[in-house]
């Protein structure tokens, strides 16, 4: 079982919308697609499995004139693996701690808790152990921080290398498309009130 949360407080969302007007445009998926596509991509990577079904609910509680600012989805993977995804950009301040990009994975003998920019903890036996703690930075004030850009730069460099070496990239377009497809299935499910089967 897995759970992922990406949650921002409403004041932060207002600040983001001031700088990024594209987030108002539902034709491109809006803020939900911009946030959730990263979550769904990582869930696929964690499981090594494809999504077969999605059931989601979506709404906007705040006064912002844009749809789908709060989405909850139940995602079914091959082999019966289950995931729950909560994406919201309208929590009251101070929001939830450690919830900008968080993943929790539960197995038979252990579990881990990962906040993308804060920590990786392993729960096993009767205790939790901090496995990794990255260098901190302010996501909003330092959007081009080398710490934040490091993984993205690696993907781009591999793409360049794949062209030079005439080989497929390690992370190709199919992975990105599948992550977006899961998000599209969430929006279709929320609109219809029905479970949506994948592939679309």
- Residue 111's domain is classified under what CATH number? 3.30.360.10
Q: Say what the pLDDT of residue 6 is.
A: 96
155 assigned to some structural domain:
no
Asked, for residue 141, whether it belongs to a domain, the answer is: no
Q: Return d(Cα 83, Cα 197) in angstroms, integer.
A: 15
Q: Is residue 21 part of a domain?
A: yes
Structural domain boundaries enclosing 36: 2-136+172-197
Give the pLDDT confidence score for residue 43 in this predicted structure: 98
- Asked whether residue 55 is assigned to any structural domain, the reply reads yes
Residues in Cβ contact with 141 at an 8 Å cutoff, skipping those fewer than 6 apart:
none
Q: Is residue 120 part of a domain?
A: yes
Residue 43 lies in a domain: yes
Cα 54 to Cα 24: distance, rounded to the nearest angstrom: 24
Assess if residue 153 is contained within a domain: no
pTM score of the predicted model: 0.92
Residue 16 has a pLDDT of 82
Structure-block tokens of residue 177 = 């498309």
- The total of structural domains in the chain comes to 1
- Alpha-carbon dihedral 194, 197, 198, 200, rounded to 10 degrees: -70
In tens digits, the chain (200 residues) has pLDDT values of 999 999 999 998 998 888 788 887 888 888 999 999 999 999 999 999 999 999 999 999 999 988 999 999 999 999 999 999 999 999 999 999 999 899 999 999 999 999 988 999 999 999 999 999 988 888 777 888 888 888 889 999 999 999 999 999 998 899 999 999 999 999 999 999 999 999 99
Asked if residue 150 is part of any domain, the answer here is no
């Amino acid at each position: 079982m897995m759970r992922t949360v990406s949650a921002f407080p409403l004041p932060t969302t207002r600040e983001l919308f001031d700088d990024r007007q594209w987030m108002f445009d539902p034709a491109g998926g809006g803020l939900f697609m911009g946030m959730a596509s990263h979550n769904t991509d990582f869930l696929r990577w964690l499981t090594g499995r494809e999504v077969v079904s999605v059931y989601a609910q979506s709404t906007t509680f705040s006064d912002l004139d844009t749809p789908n600012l709060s989405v909850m989805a139940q995602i079914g993977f091959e082999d019966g693996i289950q995931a729950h995804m909560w994406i919201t950009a309208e929590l009251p301040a101070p929001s939830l701690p450690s919830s900008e990009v968080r993943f929790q994975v539960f197995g038979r003998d252990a579990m881990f808790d990962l906040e993308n920019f804060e920590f990786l903890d392993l729960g096993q036996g009767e205790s939790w152990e901090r496995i990794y703690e990255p260098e901190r930075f302010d996501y909003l004030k330092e959007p081009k921080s080398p710490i934040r850009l490091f993984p993205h730069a690696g993907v781009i460099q591999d793409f360049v290398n794949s062209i030079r070496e005439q080989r497929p990239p390690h992370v190709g377009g199919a992975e990105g498309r599948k992550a977006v497809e899961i998000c599209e299935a969430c929006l279709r499910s929320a609109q219809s009130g029905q479970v949506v089967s994948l592939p679309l």
